[in-house]
Amino acid sequence: MEFVAAPARLSTTDAQFEHDFAQRLHWSADTDAAIEQRVADILADVQKRGDAAVLDYTARFDGLQVSSMAALELSKQELKAAFEGLPTEQREALESAARRVRSYHEAQKKANGESWSYRDEDGTLLGQKVTPLDRVGIYVPGGKAAYPSSVLMNAIPAHVAGVEDIIMVVPTPQGVKNPLVLAAAYVAGVHRAFTIGGAQAVAALAYGTATIPKVDKITGPGNAYVASAKKRVFGLVGIDMIAGPSEILVLADGSTPPDWVAMDLFSQAEHDELAQSILLCPDAAYLDAVQREIDRLLPEMPRKAIIAKSLSDRGALILTRDMEEACALSNRIAPEHLEVSSRDPHRWEPLLKHAGAIFLGAYTSESLGDYCAGPNHVLPTSGTARFSSPLGVYDFQKRSSLIEVSEAGAQVLGKTAAVLAYGEGLQGHARAAEMRIKR
């Protein structure tokens, strides 16, 4: 069977552009009411019956029949054995990726994640204490889309933050375990791991059961059931974000070999038929050249069916007036991954306001960032980069304000506080402030 990858060709000077552009970008995060109801039922059942409910759902949904929860725990020995059983090059690649991800997140913690304080002129101390979460749960998808790199990207920032108890859950349909996932858990220093998944795993982590410890936050991607369950337990525990389909946007000035850019578009499209790959360039001939490379390279790709559908349904090659306009369009999209494939990427970077990760220059393929450059690959999708950030050490820390008002400070602040408190009709607040004022 022959596949054709035909991304839409758009031009910003077309009268129809705004309409076509909006149509390409459209993606509905609307949830399925049937899924919502099933998830609500599963959560309620796990909250009520604990381990017994988790065992039932695991048997039903994952085809995994075991007699006790203990059989669903992966021992440290098993994780270690998985690592040791890998071919040398996979072992080395995992370790090297983990090392780089760790250094990056250590730099992140040092730059933006340390406690701070100062004293004002009255000797009053003000600041914030930054502390790690006690215990977190990491959801790792299982089955056909099992990504060991996601284990590293979730567990390592938690480790760097100082979380002392990292619990991994990963479904293993029909009991089939992915050795790379187990090995990644070993390398990343996961503390406990269970072969459970779906809404029941989220429920177990959020409420706790006799076997699964209740966590403070749940991170990691999952299918619609997992996303719905995470959204429902949000508030009782923290969650990271609700991920939509993955996207790449490439801003090209035409200086990068077109086959590199074609492959970068493939690397997004191959994830999923709903994934989105968009190329913006002010040079029509370059767009033609990339389309030729798409046509040439597609037949070689094992995942060509997915790539062809994703590019044809959701992809676009867009001709812009200039690079400035391309940057402005990129800000409207707020893409998860943004490649600035230009000879002069630092000229454009300051114009780019909203993106999960910005990949600068022709050598920075998104795939290097996905695996081992160091930054996190868990990134805001579907335009949420407008208000949210890559997963990071900060997701595994929280802050407590520190205030120590000096006796002198209380004299001044007490008057201000009392005026405002009386203004709000809160006399207890006012009196508490006034009591600290010397008569």
Which residue in 34, 111, 174, 285 binds a second copy (CB under 8 A)?
A: 111
Q: Using alpha carbons, select from 327, 370, 378 the residue that is nearest to residue 100.
A: 370
303 in contact with a second copy (CB under 8 A): yes
Q: 50 vs 165, 207, 226, CA distance in Å? A: 20, 9, 18
366 in contact with a second copy (CB under 8 A): yes
Question: What x-and-dash track marks residues 192-221 binding a second copy by CB under 8 A?
Answer: ------------------------xx----
- Would you say 268 and 366 are in contact if contact means Cβ atoms under 8 Å apart? yes
Interface residues for a second copy in 222-241 (CB under 8 A)? 231, 234-238, 241
User: Least CB distance from residue 67 to a second copy, whole Å?
Assistant: 32
User: Which range binds a second copy by CB under 8 A, 10-18, 102-110, 195-203, 319-327?
Assistant: 102-110
Task: Give Cβ neighbours of residue 170 (< 8 Å, ≥ 6 apart).
Answer: 139, 140, 141, 142, 146, 178, 181, 193, 194, 195, 196, 197
Residue 401 has φ and ψ, to the nearest 5°, of -70, 145
User: Which range binds a second copy by CB under 8 A, 61-69, 154-162, 189-197, 366-374?
Assistant: 366-374
Note the residue count of the chain.
Answer: 439
Q: Name the residue nearer to a second copy (CB basis): 50 or 375.
A: 375
The CA angle 148-151-154, to the nearest 5 degrees, is 150
93 in contact with a second copy (CB under 8 A): yes
User: Least CB distance from residue 278 to a second copy, whole Å?
Assistant: 16
191 labeled part of a ligand binding site: no
177 in contact with a second copy (CB under 8 A): no
Residue ranges with strand state E in 273-422:
276-281, 316-319, 337-341, 357-360, 397-404
406 in contact with a second copy (CB under 8 A): yes
- Would you say 401 and 128 are in contact if contact means Cβ atoms under 8 Å apart? yes
- Would you say 4 and 308 are in contact if contact means Cβ atoms under 8 Å apart? yes
* Residues that are catalytic: 336-337
DSSP element (H, E) containing 251: strand 247-252
200 labeled part of a ligand binding site: yes
Interface residues for a second copy in 43-82 (CB under 8 A)? none
User: Least CB distance from residue 66 to a second copy, whole Å?
Assistant: 27
Residue ranges with strand state E in 21-179:
73-74, 116-119, 125-132, 135-139, 165-169
385 in contact with a second copy (CB under 8 A): yes
77 labeled part of a ligand binding site: no
SS3 355: coil
Binding region = 139, 200, 223, 246, 268, 271, 337, 370, 424, 429
Q: List residues forming the annotated binding site for substrate.
A: 246, 268, 271, 337, 370, 424, 429
Known binding-site residues for Zn(2+) equal 268, 271, 370, 429
